[in-house]
Amino acid sequence: MNKKVALQDLGHKDYKETWDYQERLFQEIVDLKIKNRREDAQLETPNHLLFVEHPHVYTLGKSGDINNLLVNEAQLQEKKATFYKINRGGDITYHGPGQIVGYPILDLDNFFTDIHKYLRLLEEMVILTLAEYGLKCGRSEGETGVWLDVGTPFARKICAMGVRASRWVTMHGFALNINTDLGYFDLMIPCGIKDKAVTSLNVELGRKEVDVEEVKTKLLKHFETLFEAELTGVKTTT
- Mark the binding-site residues, compressed into ranges: 88-95, 160-162, 173-175
Contact between residue 190 and residue 92 where contact means Cβ atoms under 8 Å apart: yes
Report how far apart, in Å, the C-alpha atoms of 39 and of each of 27, 33, 61 are. 18, 10, 35
Q: Cα(63)–Cα(222) distance, rounded to whole angstroms?
A: 30
Active-site residue (options: 52, 159, 191, 198): 191
Query: Which one, of 92, 95, 84, 86, lies nearest residue 64 by Cα?
Result: 92
Q: Quick count: other Cβ atoms within 10 Å of Cβ 155?
A: 18
Between CA 77 and CA 74 the distance in angstroms is: 5
Helix (H) or strand (E) holding 103: strand 99-105
Is 137 part of the annotated catalytic residue set? no
**Residue 237 CB neighbour total at 10 angstroms:** 10
Q: What's the chain's Rg over C-alpha atoms?
A: 18
Known binding-site residue numbers for substrate: 88-95, 160-162, 173-175
Cite the active site residues. Answer: 191
